[in-house]
């Protein structure tokens, strides 16, 4: 990381309209919640901006978020759902106007415009390995700068390929633990029976095949940061042990007797909404509290499409490309890329740039969405054309497969009848790692 990127950056203030929720019926009638932010969580659990005592409301029932002149209502997989007039919303999103009344259990809310509040946006277009100058990214930079100086646990929430590990590294590199180790544990790659060994280590002879002592991730991260990637994939039976280690700030190697004190900052990440998993009973509420002292959302690429030209230029230079950017990405191609949904987010864009360099043609020509694209492939070399068609098929197939299985790699491998390791490699190659 460059010296410039480690210096806390200047911020500018931007006024934004907040959301206010007023309870008009139910056990908490008369209560009002308004945040100095763009979102409000509603539910019975601690941590919600509007916490209610209604037993017919889920722990994390819904989230209200400002989206321009309208308010986005996001049901978080609640048990009884959210009613907006005659419409029942379960684990979905509806955009409404201020003044709308919504019902959750026996509670009814009226949504209103709140006061204008100040939001801090960092200056500049990069932070560590992150790139972007959109409002969403500048807000994220400001949040990272502030959190890096503390030692609280942070939960990073975002889709696959958005750069959650880069955010975790920035939190580490900008903080007082920068000289310590940064250790990553990816829950999607671990065999459940070896999860405890990877986190806490094991002694020689602890189990069959343990022919030597193994130092676990917590010990390797002493004095630094432990990044728990895809924490939502940790099986329920193993969550209690992780919670105990975090609460005691000590671990015991598998097969060992001694307690080992740990001094690490924990940053976790997930592509799932763990609040919905808490509602469903598949993720421990107390572990969620421990991990999500602060939750940061990493925006998907489709919500910051204005950053695509900057990202493309960065990836081209990073790959050693010395030609003109518009030779591979002319204005019409950039416009098409800006309208693309990018299910693999920034990782998918990087792969598209690397393919464009390798084939010497714009991405439109290597993504055969129509007859003209296919005809263009016939003019090239057989090997390149065949690879382009197969790549496009694999990207589309895998994106749909992940969508059907909710991003669960094990379930996806079973449905596609593919070896899990091979499927994981395919997902990484196409920028679709969940």
Q: Going by CATH, does the domain composed of 11-118 fall within 2.60.200.20? A: yes
Helices and strands per DSSP (H, E), number in the chain: 15, 20
CATH superfamily of 122-297: P-loop containing nucleotide triphosphate hydrolases (3.40.50.300)
Cα dihedral 144/148/154/159 (nearest 10): 30
The rounded distance, in Å, linking the Cα atoms of 25 and 101 is: 11
Output the CA torsion sign for 376, 380, 382, 387: negative
Residue with tokens 């308010």: 71
Q: Are 66 and 59 in contact (CB under 8 A)?
A: no
Query: Could you please report the per-residue DSSP string of 115-148?
Result: EEEEEEEE-SSEETTEE--SHHHHHHHHHHHHHH
Instruction: Measure Cα distances from 41 to 12, 20, 38, 225, 252 in Å.
Output: 26, 11, 11, 29, 37
pLDDT for 399-410, tens place per residue?
878 877 777 888
Q: Is the pLDDT score of 263 beyond 80?
A: yes
User: 231: closest CA among 239, 241, 223?
Assistant: 239
- Considering only residues 233 and 3, tell me which one the structure prediction assigns the higher pLDDT: 233
pLDDT for 104-137, tens place per residue?
999 999 999 888 888 889 999 999 999 999 999 9
Q: Is the pLDDT score of 431 beyond 80?
A: no
For residue 416, the model assigns a pLDDT of: 83
Residue with tokens 């099986």: 235
Angle between helices 345-359 and 308-318 (to 10 degrees): 50
pLDDT for 30-51, tens place per residue?
998 876 666 789 999 988 989 9
The rounded distance, in Å, linking the Cα atoms of 51 and 416 is: 42
* Widest distance between CA atoms in the chain: 71
Beta strand pairing call for 50-51 and 39-43 = parallel
Alpha helices for 293-381 (secondary structure H): 308-318, 325-328, 331-339, 345-359, 371-377
Which of these ranges, 159-163, 342-346, 384-388, has the smallest mean pLDDT?
384-388
DSSP 320: T
Output the CA torsion sign for 297, 300, 304, 306: positive
pLDDT for 345-387, tens place per residue?
998 899 889 888 887 877 755 343 444 444 555 555 566 666 6
Q: Give, for 64, the enclosing helix (H) or strand (E).
A: strand 62-67
pLDDT for 68-105, tens place per residue?
888 999 999 999 999 999 999 988 889 999 999 999 99
The rounded distance, in Å, linking the Cα atoms of 382 and 359 is: 12
Q: What is the mean pLDDT of residues 171-176?
A: 95
Mean pLDDT across the chain: 86
Q: Is the pLDDT score of 285 beyond 60?
A: yes
Q: What is the mean pLDDT of residues 188-217?
A: 83
The rounded distance, in Å, linking the Cα atoms of 382 and 408 is: 35
For residue 191, the model assigns a pLDDT of: 77
The rounded distance, in Å, linking the Cα atoms of 158 and 297 is: 6
Residue with tokens 């069959």: 208
User: Going by C-beta distance under 8 Å and a sequence separation of 6 or more, which residues neighbour residue 61?
Assistant: 42, 43, 44, 75, 76, 78, 82, 104, 105, 279
For residue 376, the model assigns a pLDDT of: 52
Cα dihedral 396/402/403/408 (nearest 10): 180
| Residue 182: strand pairing partners | 225
Q: Is the pLDDT score of 325 beyond 80?
A: yes
The rounded distance, in Å, linking the Cα atoms of 213 and 196 is: 14
Band of residue 3 on the pLDDT scale cut at 50, 70, 90: very low
Q: What is the mean pLDDT of residues 286-298?
A: 95
For residue 2, the model assigns a pLDDT of: 41
Query: Could you please report the per-residue DSSP string of 212-275?
Result: S-B--HHHHTTTSEEEEETGGGS-HHHHHHHHHHHHHTEE--BT----EE---EEEEEESS-HH
Q: Are 260 and 250 in contact (CB under 8 A)?
A: yes
Length of the chain: 434
For residue 289, the model assigns a pLDDT of: 95
For residue 379, the model assigns a pLDDT of: 53
DSSP 9: P
Indicate whether this model's pTM tops 0.75. yes
For residue 115, the model assigns a pLDDT of: 85
Q: Is the pLDDT score of 237 beyond 90?
A: no
Q: Is the pLDDT score of 166 beyond 80?
A: yes
Band of residue 165 on the pLDDT scale cut at 50, 70, 90: very high
Which of these ranges, 63-77, 202-216, 263-277, has the smallest mean pLDDT?
202-216
Q: Using only the alpha carbons of the chain, give its radius of gyration.
A: 24
User: 150: closest CA among 265, 268, 10, 11?
Assistant: 265
DSSP 79: S
- Considering only residues 170 and 197, tell me which one the structure prediction assigns the higher pLDDT: 170
For residue 35, the model assigns a pLDDT of: 66
């Amino acid at each position: 990381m460059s010296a410039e990127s480690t210096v806390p950056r200047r911020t500018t203030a931007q006024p934004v309209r907040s959301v206010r929720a007023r309870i008009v019926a139910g056990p908490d009638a008369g209560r009002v919640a308004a945040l100095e932010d763009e979102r409000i969580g509603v539910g019975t659990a601690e941590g919600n901006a509007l916490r209610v005592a209604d037993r017919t409301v889920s722990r994390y029932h819904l989230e209200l978020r400002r989206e321009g002149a309208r308010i986005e209502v996001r049901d978080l997989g609640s048990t009884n759902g959210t009613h907006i007039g005659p419409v029942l919303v379960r684990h979905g999103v509806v955009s409404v106007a201020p003044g709308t009344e919504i019902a959750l259990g026996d509670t009814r809310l009226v949504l209103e415009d709140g006061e204008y509040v100040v939001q801090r946006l960092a200056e500049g277009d990069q932070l560590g390995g992150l790139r972007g100058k959109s409002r969403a990214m500048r807000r994220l930079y400001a949040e990272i700068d502030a959190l890096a100086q503390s030692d609280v646990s942070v939960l990073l929430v975002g889709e696959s390929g958005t750069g959650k590990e880069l955010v975790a590294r920035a939190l580490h590199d900008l903080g007082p633990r920068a000289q310590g180790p940064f250790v990553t544990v990816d829950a999607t790659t671990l065999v459940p029976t070896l999860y405890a060994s990877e986190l806490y280590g094991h002694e020689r002879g602890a189990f069959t095949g343990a022919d030597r002592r193994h130092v676990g991730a917590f010990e390797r991260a002493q004095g630094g940061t432990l990044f728990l990637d895809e924490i939502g994939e940790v099986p329920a039976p193993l969550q209690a042990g992780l919670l105990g280690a975090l609460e005691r700030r000590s671990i015991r190697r598998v097969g060992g007797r001694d307690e080992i004190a740990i001094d690490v900052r924990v940053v976790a990440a997930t592509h799932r909404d763990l609040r919905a998993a808490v509602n469903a009973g598949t993720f421990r509420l107390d572990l969620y509290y421990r991990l999500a002292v602060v939750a940061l959302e990493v925006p998907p690429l489709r919500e910051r499409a204005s950053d695509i030209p900057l990202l493309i230029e960065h990836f081209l230079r990073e790959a050693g490309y010395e030609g003109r950017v518009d030779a591979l990405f002319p204005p019409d191609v950039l416009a098409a890329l800006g309208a693309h949904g990018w299910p693999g987010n920034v990782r998918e864009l990087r792969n598209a740039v690397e393919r464009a360099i390798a084939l010497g043609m714009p991405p439109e020509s290597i993504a055969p969405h129509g007859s003209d694209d296919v005809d263009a492939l016939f003019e090239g070399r057989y090997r390149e054309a065949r690879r382009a068609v197969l790549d496009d098929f694999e990207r589309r197939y895998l994106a749909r497969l992940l969508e059907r299985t909710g991003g669960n790699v094990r379930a996806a491998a079973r449905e596609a009848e593919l070896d899990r390791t091979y499927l994981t490699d395919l997902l990484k190659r196409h920028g679709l790692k969940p």
